[in-house]
Every structure is written in structure tokens, then in C-alpha cells.
Structure 1
Amino acid sequence: MRITPLGGLGEIGRNMTVFEFEGKLLVVDCGVLFPEEHQPGIDVILPDFTSLRDRLGDIVAIVLTHGHEDHIGGVPYLLKERADIPVIGSELTLAFIDAKLKEHRIRPKTVKVAAGDTHKAGPFGLEFVAVNHSIPDGLAVAIRTGAGMVLNTGDFKMDQFPLDDRITDLRHFARLGEEGVDLFMTDSTNAEVAGFTVSERELTPAIDQVFATAPRRIIVSSFASHVHRIQQVLDAASRNGRKVAFVGRSMVRNMGIARDLGYLNIPRGLVVDFKKLESMPDDKVTLICTGSQGEPMAALARMSNGDHQIRVGEGDTVLLASSLIPGNENAIYGIINKLTDLGAKVVHKGNAKVHVSGHASAGELIYCYNIVKPRNVLPIHGESKHLHANAELAVRTGVHPDRVIIGRDGVTIDLVKGRATISGQVPAGLVYVDGQTVGRATEDTLKERRLLREGGVITVVALVDTTTTTLAEPLEYLTRGFVHDDHTFDGATAEVEKALDRAAEQRTTDIDKLEGVIANAVSRYIQRTYRREPVVIAIVVDA
């Protein structure tokens, strides 16, 4: 069996792994990665499907471990390449993906499974195991083939007192371990954190304290899929006599789905339309919105910038009920500062016990290694430091170092006769979604955007006699976002004239090439003289 991670190794997000056996392919998860500050204008980042495009007909199913965006967000884009791939998942996970696919006008072929179920997908035998996470209905999946068995935990932790009383089924893990797990793929996110992850129930007093002491409105920001945390907020609001409104399309949609399926218990009359809250006293109002990761277009960021219909003001309390995803810290702290400047009190994980992770800490991972006793280990879902920390835990529990693989996106791992080894590499670059375009934005595109943001743009208009390759009139410099004075470009013109002389010697008269000559000359001059890198565009007019 060949295992090829296309995302999630070396990053938090974009989780996707392809399994191959007897010429057929099984995809486990297909998520997105959210852009960082150095990726301006990008909506989300997809796994690279290049290695699958010639083999779309060989895919027997997509298995989804749970309903978070970093595990399901890429599914619409894969189904656009072949719409009839069966999608297998739990009830809530399929409900979330169904709603998402409706926006893309895709009607998927779905197969609902539950913990303990088995299912056959081509040559792959699947068995599903209940795991606890920060979203209900999470599943680990055991994949059986003639080449051996792989156990993929998905995202999980071992909360012994979960809000929905659904614990990670360690007895099931133990049974699979007794059968023999040839490759154990384990969540690495909290592998550096000692001990055990705190129970969700331990947050209730801190959340209650926020609701009991807030003088005006409470604005809660959370992931639109964090059903457990939203339940705690709803319960606190109910106990403190506050009404609640959901703000943002994804939040309204997902909480409606969770309520309808029985995963979210909403007391009658507690949740009202946002417009009704406008006429209520501030101390009776709770708003629940998206934007806990600093996403620029999400509700919370827009509130902090003053361009949302909800105006944050003196005495409001903002509760950030999510952890910080690595790479988002600056954006989140920026929003916290803006909200504080507006007069709000911001409560977050750094100053109150209002969030716990959804991922297993080191103690839980060690526990699982000792139960499962895997022959080989592949840490997944984490940055490089997380993968290495998880690998070290596996070795400490007795797994031979040669059987612990630190992989990267795109590596191919072959499982043969109980031994897993790296065998090759397939393309696994970052695929950018930019508005309605997929994959057209490149690293060069982003570099140019960064230059525009950081250095501005200079447009050089040149009237050139192409017969002599000389300037017929003085150059005209038009700028946007580039600070300059009357003498900034004096030396640039001399550099352009020298460059045109060299072009004349080479008999270059093509206007496109002359534009490149002029742009390069001005760009080099600005970099050398002012140590700045604006985008330089030259427009040549034939005199």
C-alpha cells in the first residue's frame, strides 16, 4: 500500500492523505489552509491535486474524519474535477459538507457512517472509531488492505468529561492494536505540550464569570463549527438572562444544522434575529460571530475596523473563544488592540481560562502508543516541530527509530510486509484560491503584491524614437504608494539613457523589450540608491 500525504505535514491545515492499493485510490480528508500575512489577497490554500488528475477515475471514496475547514474545505474543489466521488463521513460532518457543496452547486454522493461501523470502498476495508475533538461526531479510521492496516486518528484528544459525553474509544484502539496496526498516523498538534489536555467542562466557570460581570453587550468570536464552545456560551447566556443572535453566514448556517440534528441544545426563545437585539438593553445582549483567527473579511475584524453594522464601544466585552492557529498571531493581536482602543474589554485564552485545545497532549499520545503498539508511525497534522516532538514520543514508547517517519507533503510512503519506508515524491505545492480563480496565483504573484504593499508602484512613461532608441522627451514618473521628492528620479533618467544606448548597440527596437529595459534600469537605480523595491512598470510610446 502506498500512502501519500498531500497536506498537513509541516503545516497546521490543508490535511489530505491519499492511499493506493491494487490500482485504486482512497482520499482521507481534503482541507484548506488559511493564508498568512505574506500571502495578500488569497482566500484559502488547497492541496495540490496534480498527482491525481490523470487518475481521478481510480478514486473510490473521500473519507472525512470531522467537519473542520482544515479537513473538509477542499472537498468542493476536488469534486469539481470529478463530481461523483462518494463522500464518507459522520452525520454532522456530512451535513456541514452538504451545505458547503450547495454553495458550489454540487450534489454529492454521500455515505453516512457512525462509530463502530465498517464499510468497503474498492479494495479498502474501513472501520470507524469514535474520537473526541472540539467538534462533535469526530472519527478515526482504520484502513485495511492485503498489505496491512493503517490507523489514522484524525484530530482527537482524550477528554474524559466531554460536553456530549462521547469519549475517545480507547477500547476500540486497543482491539485494533491487538489485531496489529502496521502504520499509526497520529495528530501531532500538541505533541510539545506535556500532560493531558484540560477538559472542556473546566471552562464553564470562566465563561460564566464573563457573563456575570459584563456591563454591556457580550460579543463572542469562535469558529463557525465549534459546536461545543457555542453550547457553553448559549448555556451561560441563558443562565444570565441574555438573548443571543448569530452573526455571519457560516455561523448561522452551521449552528442551524447542529440544532436541527440535535448536536446543539438551544432553549426556546434564547436565540433571536439580530435586528431584535437592537431594541434590547445592552446588558441583555449576546452576539456570536466568526473571526477568531483575525480573518480580514470576518465579522470581528470588520467590527474592529469600524466597517460593520455592529459598532463596538465603551463597556462592551469581546470573548475570543478559540486558540491561536500558528501564523495568525499578529492578525489576532492587531484586532485585540483595535477593540481595546474602541473601549471594549477583550477576554481571551491569554488572560482567562476560556478555551482549551481540541488536540491530544503528549501524555495522551503516549497513552495511545502504549495501547496500539504500532509497527510503524507517521506523525501528521502539525508543523515540523510538532512532527518531531510526536516522533520522539513514539520512540520513547518503544517504536524503533527506523520505523518512525518524519514526512513532508508529497512524500510517498510504501507499506510492504509490515515495513513503511519513504519511496519517492509527488508535487505538493500550495494551490491558491484567489476569488473565483484556482491555482493561477503563484509565488511571483504574491511577491508582486507584497512589493506593491511595501514599496508602492512607479509607472515610467517614455516617448522613444525606436529608429535611434533614444528618448524623444523627458521621462514622466507616475507613482502610487512610493514616497519621493522633486529630485528622486534625477539619477534614474541617466540610468535609463545608458540602458537605451546598450539596447541600440544590440539593435533592440521591439517596444515590449524596451519597456523591460527601462523598467529594469529604474528598478535597479531605486534599489541601489534608496534600498526600496517598488513595482516598476514602463510604458513606451513610439515617437
Structure 2
Amino acid sequence: MDLKIKEDEVAVFAIGGLGEIGKNMYAIQYQDEIVIVDAGIKFPEDELLGIDYVISDYQYLAEHQNKIKGLFITHGHEDHIGGIPYFLQKVPNVPIYAGPLATALIKGKLEEHGLLESTKMNVLQESDVVTFNNLSVEFFRTTHSIPDTLGIAIHTPQGVIIQTGDYKFDLTPVGNQPGPNLQKMAKLGTDGVLLLLSDSTNAEIPTFSKSERFVGNTIHQIVERIDGRIIFATFASNLYRVSQAVDAAIQNGRKVAVFGRSMEQAIVNGRELGYLDIPDSEILDASEINKLPANKVMLLCTGSQGEPMAALSRIANGTHRQISIQPDDTVIFSSNPIPGNTVSVNHLINALEEAGANVIHGKVNNIHASGHGGQEEQKLMLRLIKPKYFMPIHGEYRMLKIHTELAQLCGVPKENTFIYENGDVLALTQNSARKAGHVPAGDVYVDGNGIGDISSEVIEDRQMLSEEGLVIVVATIDYKKGLVLSGPDILSRGFVYMRESGNLINQAQKHIFHTIKTHLDNDDAVAEDVLKQDIVDNLQEFLYRRTERHPVILPMIISTQV
């Protein structure tokens, strides 16, 4: 499969990230060179039963892997790096370029999947420039809810294409982190930018996003007034938030104990890279927690998104080996639920409250600040970059639409703005922009160790099983004599209670018996697959008339035919 582009055109397309939150993956292609930006996952919505992650369809990139020059990472969040192991299994030997923290996080993922030794990792600094034959890539510093966030500028023969990554303009960042590099953004804009791909997540928020430092002040105030033990839950990757929680604990005479593998690794990475300044004397071993008064302890843990196996969920349901909820515990959620996790988070908060804890969460108490810029920041980015063409990315359709309207307010002509779907190809030159076909970009489901082996039909069956139940039909047939030797018997799971539905079951058995006999009496050679489908169709119709339900029907025919 080849793109429908001319020799002098640059192709820009999303493998994931348009019309959705998550699964970010964008490609820029000029002739025989492809640069990829990010390779993320999306967390499944509730209706995707049994699915762990949703990743992108890498078919086009696999077919053209000889053209891929590198995978460039804007930052270390799961919706930007979580798909890398799956991508490399499909498209091996692609060199990866990422900042220091993202590199550390990616290496951990690659090691788990046995891909670390075979993958070339390149650690980026903002001042680096990576050059290929026709394309070159440079970077500019942004601010987000994780350190080492970069915007990416791809220089092509037709002009510069900028992908912002996730960003906000935090002018008072926490710790020793520099702020966004406004000068470099403005220089790129002054020199001329062909296309801007910009984060749309908070396009519905009309203001600037709060600074992380604002949240730090709130955390300090909350910690000061709590007398019992504190359990602080946040994203392990949000080292700014972790730093402020630890600082608040230390200033109030508390030692910090860390729980959850990803949080433990985040502390290690943060200290090694200089983002966290935590003296060894302030870190408490799990075995020492009960030796100190409750008001001298803070537990820092994972699980703010309601993940069932994370530390906080196990603490809430009483299955954690070392920690159980005590009556005066206060649990602080310093995050908002990401799409797909709202129900899980609410269940977790309820479980903690029922166990006796006092729960403080972000929306009510101002202990969370988004890492994504609101409309004012999106307009500032547009004014700094001054693109000729504009394509909003990383957002659901309504967010993309609002962001496009903001671009038009900032001087981008309406005909130069493009709301595309995953797989749509934008072909660009210095003076033209057009839609140039489509590449595969559907969802691929990760279920346990299986990748892409769960189809939409399987998901539909799972949904039907969860909502309507299962009916199993068992019959023994002698095809030669045209007789039903036993059955048909019916077993029900999740459809009706057998003991209280005798009349319905009896009538269903007679209905199925009639269906089988009709086949046996009318056909010289009965095709078993046709018979099974006829049983399903007829029984579905009968049961819907009686119950208005559509259970999954599984016919099992035992044949005496040799």
C-alpha cells in the first residue's frame, strides 16, 4: 500500500490520536523517509470487556519499515510511549529518540518485553538536531505534568511541520525545571511554519491551566491540618506532584513510605535524573511504618486511576500484605480520572470511605492541575508558531472542532484548517494542501498476551454475554435413522434462573426439537453447520418474543454418524 502523493509533497497522517484521548502516533513522510512521533496506548472504555489496552494498527508502517528513520518521543506518558513494545514487535529495529526521563521509562518497558538489547535508544536534549537525507528534526522545551517534555519540529523540503506534544504554558514550574522555551517557539514561527499539529485536550476550557506550583501550595495546606496517617495517590510519572507531596510531608515531620512498583521506579528515576531531592533519611521502609505515630507517616502510592492491582486498590479491599486502612487515615487523590477510568475511581473512593478513611479528591479540593493548556494557551501557541496550515490533534471530535475555531480566530484561514480522522492523509507543499487518501488506522486490542486477535465480533459477543447471558443447547442425533436420541437439553447462565423458568425452558425444548426434526425429515444429508445456525436463529426469535432478550446461544450437537 502506497500513499497517493506526488513526488514533491509531504504526507502527514495520524495512526492514532485523532477523535480520541490516547493512542497518539503521528507520521510525516517525504519520498523515502518517514519520521514517527510517539507511539501510545489508549485505555479501554467500559464496553471493551476483558481488553487491557487499545493500540494502533501498524500495518502501513510495517509495510514501509525500510523508510522509517526514527521514532521521536515528546514525553513519557502511557498515551505516548505505552505502545512502543507492541510497535517494535511488529516493526523491529526502529531507533528511538527521547528525553532522559522518557528514555528511562521506555527502557523499563522494553526490558519487560525482552526488546531492550535489540533496540537503539538515543537520549535527547533540547539543543539536539537529528538529520537525515531530506528531513531533520529539532526540539523545543514545553511544560506538562511530567519532566522532559518536548515539542518537535520536522524540517522538510516544503517547510517546517511542528508537533507540540502535550503542553501548557506553566511559567512557574516546580523545582529546578526551566519554563517553556518561548523564544525558540517564536523563532520557529518567525522563520516560517508550514503546519502546526497541536494538543486539543483542553480545548473546552476557556482559561489558562493552573500552574503546578498552585497545587503545591494546596497540598502543603492540606497536609498541615491532617493529624492521622496520610495516603497520597497520584500518577507515578508526575514527578512534580510527587516532589511537592514529599516536600509537604518532610516539612510537617513525616517520613515517606513508597508503595507500588511504578511509584518505586519513579522515585529511583527521579532521584537519579535530579528531579527529586529526597534524603535517604526521609524514606521509610515498609516494615517500619507501624513503629512511628500515624501523624509522622505519609504513604506514597500508585492506583489513583482505580487500577484493580495497584497498591491503593489492594489497600482499599484489604488484600495488601503490609497496609490496611485505619480509622483516622486520610487518602488524597491528586489526579483526575482519565477517560475510561471514572467508574473504577468512583468505586475505589467508595471502598476507601466504607473502610473508614477520609478521602480528599482533586475536583473538590484543588489538588490537581491539568498538564494540558486551555484555550488561552492554545491561542498563545498559535500566535507564537504562526502556521500556514493547522491540524488539531489529541482530542475527541468536539475538542478538535473548537481548537480549529481558535486557529481561525488567530489568523489561520478556514480553508487552511483540517479536522481529520486517524488514517486520513494530508499532502502538503509550500503552497497547497489536500487530502490524499487513507492508510489503515483502526483499533487493535491487547487482551492478556494476545495482540490483535480479538475482533469486534468477539467484543460484541462479550457485551452480549455480559448483558443478555448464555443459553447452551445439547442434543444427540442419529443422522442415519433421522432420530433425536436425547435432548434437546437447555442450560442457562446469566439468562434466566432455571428453577423458576420451567415453562419457558419446556417450550424452548419443544421448539428446538421441532427445528431439528424438520431438518432430519426434509434433508437427505443434513449439514451440521446449517442445522446449528437454524437452531440459533429460531431459538433467538422464540426467546426474544417471550423475554425481549438476545442471549448468546451455543448449540452442541452430538452425532452418532460415523
TM-score normalized by the length of structure 1? 0.96
Q: Alignment RMSD, CA only?
A: 1.8
Aligned to 1:46: 55
Equivalent-residue separation in structure 1 for 2:402 and 2:163 (angstroms): 18
Aligned to 1:306: 318
TM-fit CA distance, 1:470: 4.6
- 1:540/1:317 Cα in 2 relative to 1: closer, same or farther (>3 Å)? same
Whether the 8 Å CA contact 1:66–1:89 is kept in 2: the answer is yes
Aligned to 2:154: 143
**Counterpart amino acid of residue 67 in structure 1:** G
SS of match in other structure, 1:487: helix
Give 5+ residue unaligned stretches, structure 2: 1-9
**Counterpart amino acid of residue 15 in structure 1:** N
Aligned to 2:542: 525
Residues 41-440 of structure 1 mapped to structure 2, 5 A cutoff: 41-107=50-116, 108-164=119-175, 165-309=177-321, 310-440=323-453
Aligned to 2:487: 474
- 1:314/1:72 Cα in 2 relative to 1: closer, same or farther (>3 Å)? same
Equivalent-residue separation in structure 2 for 1:104 and 1:410 (angstroms): 27
Aligned to 1:487: 503
Equivalent-residue separation in structure 1 for 2:495 and 2:445 (angstroms): 28
Equivalent-residue separation in structure 2 for 1:41 and 1:255 (angstroms): 31
TM-fit CA distance, 1:29: 0.3
Equivalent-residue separation in structure 2 for 1:70 and 1:458 (angstroms): 39
Equivalent-residue separation in structure 1 for 2:524 and 2:303 (angstroms): 57
Deviations along 1:304-337, one digit per CA (max 9) or x if unpaired, are: 3333333234322111111222332222222222
Equivalent-residue separation in structure 2 for 1:241 and 1:507 (angstroms): 87
Identity of aligned residues (%): 37
**Counterpart amino acid of residue 500 in structure 1:** I
- 1:477/1:7 Cα in 2 relative to 1: closer, same or farther (>3 Å)? same
TM-fit CA distance, 1:468: 5.4
- 1:470/1:232 Cα in 2 relative to 1: closer, same or farther (>3 Å)? farther
Equivalent-residue separation in structure 2 for 1:279 and 1:469 (angstroms): 78
Deviates more, 1:37-46 or 1:320-329: 320-329
SS of match in other structure, 1:515: helix
Deviates more, 1:471-480 or 1:38-47: 471-480
Matched, 1:20 2:29: yes
Residues 425-464 of structure 1 mapped to structure 2, 5 A cutoff: 425-464=438-477
Equivalent-residue separation in structure 2 for 1:453 and 1:501 (angstroms): 32
SS of match in other structure, 2:206: coil
Equivalent-residue separation in structure 1 for 2:312 and 2:542 (angstroms): 43
SS of match in other structure, 1:269: helix
Deviates more, 1:498-507 or 1:61-70: 498-507
- 1:241/1:465 Cα in 2 relative to 1: closer, same or farther (>3 Å)? same
- 1:280/1:535 Cα in 2 relative to 1: closer, same or farther (>3 Å)? farther
**Counterpart amino acid of residue 232 in structure 1:** Q
Deviates more, 1:292-301 or 1:252-261: 292-301
Which one of the candidate residues 492, 500, 516 is aligned to 1:500?
A: 516
**Counterpart amino acid of residue 294 in structure 1:** G
Equivalent-residue separation in structure 1 for 2:281 and 2:132 (angstroms): 44
Whether the 8 Å CA contact 1:183–1:420 is kept in 2: the answer is no
Equivalent-residue separation in structure 1 for 2:504 and 2:226 (angstroms): 55
TM-fit CA distance, 1:506: 4.5
Equivalent-residue separation in structure 1 for 2:481 and 2:308 (angstroms): 51
- 1:283/1:85 Cα in 2 relative to 1: closer, same or farther (>3 Å)? same
Deviates more, 1:190-199 or 1:297-306: 297-306
Which one of the candidate residues 504, 516, 533 is aligned to 1:516?
A: 533
TM-fit CA distance, 1:455: 2.6
Deviations along 1:490-541, one digit per CA (max 9) or x if unpaired, are: 2212321332244333456244443333333333332332122332212111
SS of match in other structure, 2:388: coil
Aligned to 1:535: 552
How many residues of Structure 1 are paired with residues of Structure 2 in the alignment?
A: 543
- 1:525/1:147 Cα in 2 relative to 1: closer, same or farther (>3 Å)? same
SS of match in other structure, 1:464: strand
Equivalent-residue separation in structure 2 for 1:19 and 1:221 (angstroms): 38
Whether the 8 Å CA contact 1:154–1:186 is kept in 2: the answer is yes
TM-fit CA distance, 1:124: 1.6
TM-fit CA distance, 1:55: 1.2
Equivalent-residue separation in structure 2 for 1:312 and 1:424 (angstroms): 56
TM-fit CA distance, 1:469: 4.9
Whether the 8 Å CA contact 1:405–1:421 is kept in 2: the answer is no
Whether the 8 Å CA contact 1:379–1:406 is kept in 2: the answer is yes
**Counterpart amino acid of residue 282 in structure 2:** L
Give 5+ residue unaligned stretches, structure 1: none
- 1:467/1:18 Cα in 2 relative to 1: closer, same or farther (>3 Å)? same
- 1:518/1:204 Cα in 2 relative to 1: closer, same or farther (>3 Å)? same
Equivalent-residue separation in structure 2 for 1:456 and 1:299 (angstroms): 33
- 1:300/1:526 Cα in 2 relative to 1: closer, same or farther (>3 Å)? farther
Equivalent-residue separation in structure 1 for 2:314 and 2:544 (angstroms): 36
**Counterpart amino acid of residue 516 in structure 1:** Q
Deviates more, 1:70-79 or 1:524-533: 524-533
- 1:236/1:506 Cα in 2 relative to 1: closer, same or farther (>3 Å)? farther
Deviations along 1:441-461, one digit per CA (max 9) or x if unpaired, are: 111112222222223322221
Which one of the candidate residues 23, 36, 43 is aligned to 1:34?
A: 43
SS of match in other structure, 1:351: helix
Aligned to 2:4: none
TM-score normalized by the length of structure 2? 0.93
- 1:400/1:507 Cα in 2 relative to 1: closer, same or farther (>3 Å)? farther
Deviates more, 1:340-349 or 1:174-183: 340-349
- 1:159/1:518 Cα in 2 relative to 1: closer, same or farther (>3 Å)? same
- 1:129/1:148 Cα in 2 relative to 1: closer, same or farther (>3 Å)? same
- 1:440/1:138 Cα in 2 relative to 1: closer, same or farther (>3 Å)? same
- 1:446/1:297 Cα in 2 relative to 1: closer, same or farther (>3 Å)? farther
Whether the 8 Å CA contact 1:56–1:82 is kept in 2: the answer is yes
Equivalent-residue separation in structure 1 for 2:448 and 2:284 (angstroms): 32
Whether the 8 Å CA contact 1:142–1:150 is kept in 2: the answer is yes
Whether the 8 Å CA contact 1:141–1:151 is kept in 2: the answer is yes
TM-fit CA distance, 1:159: 0.7
